[in-house]
Amino acid sequence: MTKHCSKCKKTKSEIDFQKNRTCPDGLNRWCKQCQNQARRLYLQLPATKKQRQQYHQLPEVKERQRESQRSPKAKAKRRQRIQHLRYSQIERYGGQCHIFLCGNCDIRNLVIDHIHGGGNKHRQELGDNIAFYRWLSKQPLMLDKFRVLCRYCNNCKRPHIPDYKVGLKTGRAILNSLDRQQNSDNALTRINTGLNAGQTFRLFAGLKF
């Protein structure tokens, strides 16, 4: 079945028309494309913008918005949007830990690292961690300033964190990687001379402080 649009004067399928019970055939007189175009033009009018701003400043409207944001469904959608934003930027910058001895690909444990430092200050200037990923999504690819690290490697690059807090999981993963890289003899030598797993990881990963 087809229908004639009274706006663009074209004959289109009934799927291209929204339902309207006030019309004789139960469909709008304008097609969806013409309706969307007219709505965009209407929302760009100065009078419309002013009216919408005044409406959203009403106390009852603000209260309804706050109530809707507190609902479990709204919180779940917000978490999903944040997760998608973060994962998309991590995939954009490689999707695995930049340290060759680690190579962690579990996206849940990956973060974006500031290569030259100042990550906390930068996030505070933007607002929070979510604002940082939102800002990063609007920027061109900057591989000279940002890289992907796993949480373990990101903690290891901080000099104020003691070596024993690096964790056994990281130490074992690095020793396994060292075996594959045929550097196990050097790693064992480092450990036998008194260095723990965290110190060994820092030396072999080549992390700069």
Give the residue extent of every domain in the chain: 2-57, 68-153, 158-205
- The sign one gets for the Cα dihedral 189, 190, 194, 198 is negative
> Residue 67: its pLDDT value, please?
85
Question: Does the structure show a pLDDT above 50 at 166?
Answer: no
User: Which residue shows structure tokens 């020793």?
Assistant: 175
Mean pLDDT, to the nearest integer, of 74-78? 86
- Name the band, by pLDDT with cuts 50, 70 and 90, for residue 176: low
Q: What one-character-per-residue DSSP string does 79-141 give?
A: HHHHHHHHHHHHHHTTSS-SSTTT----GGGEEEEETTS-HHHHHHHHSSHHHHHHHHHTSPP
- Name the band, by pLDDT with cuts 50, 70 and 90, for residue 209: very low
- Name the band, by pLDDT with cuts 50, 70 and 90, for residue 136: very high
Token pair in block for residue 51: 């009216």
- Name the band, by pLDDT with cuts 50, 70 and 90, for residue 157: low
> Residue 37: its pLDDT value, please?
92
d(CA 7, CA 42): 16
Phi, psi of 88 (to 5 degrees): -65, -40
- Name the band, by pLDDT with cuts 50, 70 and 90, for residue 135: very high
- What are the distances in angstroms from CA 135 to CA 43, 98, 119, 163? 26, 21, 13, 33
- Name the band, by pLDDT with cuts 50, 70 and 90, for residue 161: very low
pLDDT (tens digit per residue) in 38-49: 999 998 999 999
Mean pLDDT, to the nearest integer, of 168-187? 47
pTM value > 0.95? no
Angle CA 131–93–96, to nearest 5: 115
d(CA 37, CA 67): 32
Question: Does the structure show a pLDDT above 80 at 3?
Answer: yes
Answer with the residue of higher pLDDT: 153 or 87.
87
